[in-house]
Amino acid sequence: MQIFRELSGLDRLSASWCADDEQFSLVPTMGAIHEGHVALVVEGKRHTARVAATIFVNPMQFNDKADLERYPRSEEADLAKLEAAGCDAVWLPSVEEIYPAGFATMVSVRGVSDRWEGEYRPGHFDGVGTVVAKLLISALPNFAIFGEKDWQQLAVIRQLERDLNIGVDIVGFPTVRDPDGLAMSSRNSLLSDGERGQAVALPEALNEARAAIEAGEHILVSTLLAVARAKLVEAGFTKVDYLALVDAATLEPLDHAHGDMRLIAAATIGSTRLIDNIRVEMDTVSR
């Protein structure tokens, strides 16, 4: 596995893959590699013979400085996991490489980024949009693979790729979960044992609400969501930023079940904020 920190390394590598007519997939990450990331590399390998990953903890997407400081970092272990997953190359740019002195451009996606994470983490999606645009334009992979756990982020990235004609196929990969259902996330390592036990209430609440909606229960969606919220608080979550039924593509809230839907949630346990989402199947909705 090739490892480089400078953009020129990536340029040379993608030029040599190009010359050999080899396509490649890119898996952008912020490190703290877990099985969810490994699955993205494996998915990349399904699309192309070559897969490159990036590890860059992007300061621009952290609206809270303390959150950036406590973000888990484990470079050596990350590289070992990526290599074991079959990754061919890893680019670990420095902050100066991505944002050199005088950097003044912001990629801001309107509409799909306005609500939810956009509301609770002001500036977050400008940071994501800017870094993802920079990574994609720098590497110009054939495919870029992102996890569905960050459902709204995926919608933002699809929009920016389309709007800017970057020419990269954006692939979303289903959330990888621990056996008890908790979505894998780098932030899970910040949970105490007790909090980790309580955190499972998040996927449970989403699944219960989904089952009720899919069963066409004759109570309002808003009532179901209030029940799910109450379940989180009862389980020990101290703050529920949102728990909503939304249109899967536009992220607009829905007050009744129709079309392609997603249940999305963000809630804090201890000092760790977790997000999750699940699909709600229209064809099993009976009303």
Three-state SS letters, 87-113: CCEEECCCHHHHCCCCCCCCCCCCCCC
Residue 218 known to be catalytic: no
Alpha helices in the chain (DSSP H): 7-19, 35-47, 65-70, 75-85, 95-98, 117-120, 124-139, 151-163, 193-199, 201-214, 221-235
Say whether residue 30 binds ligand PAF (CB under 6 A).
Answer: yes
User: Which among 154, 280, 281, 267 has a CA at the least distance from the CA of 200?
Assistant: 267
Q: Which is nearer to ligand PAF, 88 or 148 (CB)?
A: 148
Stretch that binds ligand PAF, among 2-10, 89-97, 126-134, 210-218 (CB under 6 A): 126-134
Say whether residue 78 binds ligand PAF (CB under 6 A).
Answer: no
Say whether residue 43 binds ligand PAF (CB under 6 A).
Answer: no
Subset of 132-151 contacting ligand PAF (CB under 6 A): 132, 150
Say whether residue 29 binds ligand PAF (CB under 6 A).
Answer: yes
51 phi/psi in degrees, rounded to 5: -135, 130
Q: How far apart are CA 124 and CA 61, in angstroms?
A: 4
Contact status, residue 192 vs residue 270, Cβ threshold 8 Å = yes
* CB of 158 vs ligand PAF, minimal distance in Å: 12
Query: What distances in angstroms separate CA 275 from CA 81, 106, 249, one per listed residue?
Result: 24, 25, 18
Considering only residues 13, 28, 168, 261, which one is a binding residue for ligand PAF as defined by CB under 6 A? 28
* CB of 212 vs ligand PAF, minimal distance in Å: 30
Sheet containing strand 2-4, edge to edge, reads 2-4, 89-91, 50-55, 24-29, 143-147, 169-173
Considering only residues 10, 38, 87, 128, which one is a binding residue for ligand PAF as defined by CB under 6 A? 128
Say whether residue 109 binds ligand PAF (CB under 6 A).
Answer: no
Say whether residue 131 binds ligand PAF (CB under 6 A).
Answer: yes
Stretch that binds ligand PAF, among 71-79, 124-132, 137-145, 272-280 (CB under 6 A): 124-132
Considering only residues 61, 113, 175, 188, which one is a binding residue for ligand PAF as defined by CB under 6 A? 61
106 C-beta neighbours (distance < 10 Å), count:
12
* CB of 253 vs ligand PAF, minimal distance in Å: 23
Q: Which is nearer to ligand PAF, 48 or 152 (CB)?
A: 152
Residues of this chain that interact with ligand PAF (CB under 6 A) are 28-30, 58, 61, 128, 131-132, 150, 153
Please identify every residue annotated as catalytic: 37
